[in-house]
Copies of this chain bind each other. A is one copy, B any other.
């Protein structure tokens, strides 16, 4: 069975693909609003992992609505979940009735981005696909052990690392619309990872 894995270039989505690899035919998928050349940022990471890789576009009105949410809330959680849900939904509609798998890198303790149980069930039922989160049963420390075994990563503060996650373009649209200060107000600085190499 084919599995399309949502890929940000970070360790969680990379490890998710590696865990699925023995059982599925993997393709990495990155969504972009074309606001930044996110595909260029991560195509090298995808190549290093050794999987086919595709960039798909999301309507900019989704980013506009996410921008409004982030500004109104003063924090990015709901905005990022909104983009994530729409990305999964778009991929599910493309894969409609294929009975293929769609996967992402959600971990056990993740809250953002994360689909709710009813969202998952309705996407699976409506589009006849399987939504799989291979890391959902793994805690942070187990993930770290596996990442160390299979991946060489670069870690840095979120504002210094360019990834193909939704955060990168959401930060950019906030920066373009409201300036740098607003970005650091809304996004607490946190450590992000980008994969450099796969260890075989």
A-side residues, CB < 8 A to B, are 1, 19, 22-23, 99, 101, 103, 106, 108-109, 117, 120-121, 124, 130-139, 141-142, 145-146
A142 near B22: Cβ-Cβ < 8 Å: no
B139 near A120: Cβ-Cβ < 8 Å: yes
The residue of chain B having its C-beta at the shortest distance from the C-beta of A144 within the complex is B130
B120 near A136: Cβ-Cβ < 8 Å: no
- Docked Cα-Cα span, A58 to B178, in Å, equals 61
When the two chains form the complex, which single residue of B23, B133, B141, B146 contacts A137, counting CB atoms closer than 8 Å?
B133
B135 near A137: Cβ-Cβ < 8 Å: yes
- A5 vs chain B, min Cβ distance (A): 12
When the two chains form the complex, which single residue of B23, B103, B121 contacts A146, counting CB atoms closer than 8 Å?
B23
Chain B residue contacts of A132, Cβ below 8 A: 137-139, 142
B137 near A136: Cβ-Cβ < 8 Å: yes
Chain B residue contacts of A108, Cβ below 8 A: 117, 120, 136
The residue of chain B having its C-beta at the shortest distance from the C-beta of A3 within the complex is B142
- A80 vs chain B, min Cβ distance (A): 19
- A185 vs chain B, min Cβ distance (A): 30
B124 near A131: Cβ-Cβ < 8 Å: no
Can you list 15 residue pairs at the A/B interface with Cβ under 8 Å? Answer: A1-B145, A19-B23, A23-B146, A99-B145, A106-B137, A108-B117, A108-B120, A130-B138, A130-B139, A130-B141, A131-B142, A132-B139, A133-B136, A133-B137, A137-B137
Interface centre among A103, A109, A124, A139 (most CB of B within 10 A): A139
